[in-house]
Structure 1
Amino acid sequence: MDGKPEVEMHQVIASPQNDKFVIVRPGARRGIQIPRAMYHELSETVEEGRPIPVWLSDAANQAWDINLSGQPSKGTVLIRPMTRLNYSRATWEINKGCNFNCEHCYLAERKFAGIPRNEKDQLIAMLRDAGVLWLQITGGEPTIDKDFRHSYEEAYRTGMLIEILTNGSRLHQPETIELLRTMPPHKVTVSLYGATAESFDSLTRRPGAFKLLSKGLRAAKESGISLELALIITKHNAHELEAMRAIADEYSTAYAEYANISPTYDGTPEPLAAQAPGFLDKSTVFQGCPAGHTFFHVDPHGFATMCKVGRENPISLMTEGLDGLLRLPAIADAQMLRTGGCSGCLLSGTCRVCRPMAKAFQKAEAPLENYCQHGDGVAT
Structure 2
Amino acid sequence: MHELIAAPYLDNHLLVRPGSPKAARLPTLRYEELRAQTTSAAPAWLTDVARHAWGLEMSGRELREIVLVRTRSPYGYGRASYELNLGCNYDCEHCYLGLKQFAGLDWPERERLLHTIRDAGVLWLQLTGGEPMIDKLFPETYQLAYELGLMVEILTNGSRLAAPKNLALLTRRRPNRITLSLYGATAESYDGLTRRRGAFRMFLKGLEAAHAAGLPLDLALIITRHNAHEADQMRAFADRYGLPYREYTHMSPTIYGGAETLASQAPDHLIDREPFNGCNAGHTFFHVDPHGMASICKVGRDNAIPLMTTGVEGLSRLGGIADSLMLRTGGCTGCQLSGTCRVCRPLAKVYQEAKAPLDRYCQHATPRS
Q: What TM-score, normalized by structure 1, do the two folds share? A: 0.95
Instruction: Say whether residues 1:312 and 2:279 are aligned partners.
Output: no
Distance 1:346 1:138 in 2: 37
Matched ranges for 1:1-380 at <5 A: 9-45=1-37, 48-377=38-367
Distance 1:200 1:252 in 2: 20
Contact 1:87 1:295 in 2 (8 A): yes
Distance 1:255 1:74 in 2: 36
Distance 2:25 2:213 in 1: 31
Distance 1:349 1:325 in 2: 30
Letter paired with 1:61: R
211-220 or 92-101, larger mean C-alpha shift: 211-220
Letter paired with 1:198: E
- Cα offsets for 1:240-259 (capped at 9, x unmatched): 11211122123353111111
Contact 1:265 1:309 in 2 (8 A): yes
- Cα offsets for 1:225-247 (capped at 9, x unmatched): 23100000001101111211122
Shift of 1:283: 4.3
Shift of 1:354: 0.6
Distance 1:345 1:49 in 2: 62
148-157 or 54-63, larger mean C-alpha shift: 54-63
Write out the 4+ residue segments of structure 1 that deviate beyond 6 Å after TM superposition.
none
- Cα offsets for 1:316-366 (capped at 9, x unmatched): 111111111111111111110000110011111111111000011111111
Contact 1:94 1:142 in 2 (8 A): yes
Contact 2:175 2:216 in 1 (8 A): no
Unaligned runs of 5+ in 2: none
Letter paired with 1:259: T
Distance 2:52 2:214 in 1: 22
- Cα offsets for 1:112-165 (capped at 9, x unmatched): 001101111111111111101000000000000010011100000000000000
Contact 1:141 1:166 in 2 (8 A): yes
Contact 1:49 1:74 in 2 (8 A): no
Residue in 2 that maps onto 1:6: none
Contact 1:26 1:185 in 2 (8 A): yes
Shift of 1:314: 1.0
User: Secondary structure of 1:359's match?
Assistant: helix
Distance 1:251 1:95 in 2: 30
Contact 2:19 2:216 in 1 (8 A): no
User: Secondary structure of 1:83's match?
Assistant: coil
Contact 1:149 1:176 in 2 (8 A): yes
Contact 1:218 1:251 in 2 (8 A): no
Contact 1:227 1:252 in 2 (8 A): no
Distance 1:316 1:251 in 2: 42
Distance 2:295 2:79 in 1: 13
Distance 2:76 2:353 in 1: 33
User: Secondary structure of 2:94's match?
Assistant: coil
User: Secondary structure of 2:8's match?
Assistant: strand
Q: Work out the percentage of aligned pairs sharing the same amino acid.
A: 54
Shift of 1:31: 0.7
Distance 1:183 1:154 in 2: 11
Contact 2:105 2:291 in 1 (8 A): yes
- Cα offsets for 1:303-322 (capped at 9, x unmatched): 10000010001111111111
Distance 2:116 2:360 in 1: 38
- Assess, with a 3 A threshold, how the Cα gap between structure 1 residues 91 and 252 changes in structure 2: closer, same or farther: farther
Size of the alignment, in residue pairs? Answer: 368
Q: What TM-score, normalized by structure 2, do the two folds share? A: 0.97
Contact 1:233 1:259 in 2 (8 A): yes
Letter paired with 1:96: L
Shift of 1:18: 2.3
Shift of 1:277: 2.6
Contact 1:189 1:229 in 2 (8 A): yes
User: Secondary structure of 1:278's match?
Assistant: helix
Distance 1:88 1:283 in 2: 25
Unaligned runs of 5+ in 1: 1-8
Distance 1:358 1:126 in 2: 31
User: Secondary structure of 1:51's match?
Assistant: coil
Distance 2:39 2:144 in 1: 24
- Assess, with a 3 A threshold, how the Cα gap between structure 1 residues 252 and 98 changes in structure 2: closer, same or farther: farther
Contact 1:217 1:251 in 2 (8 A): no
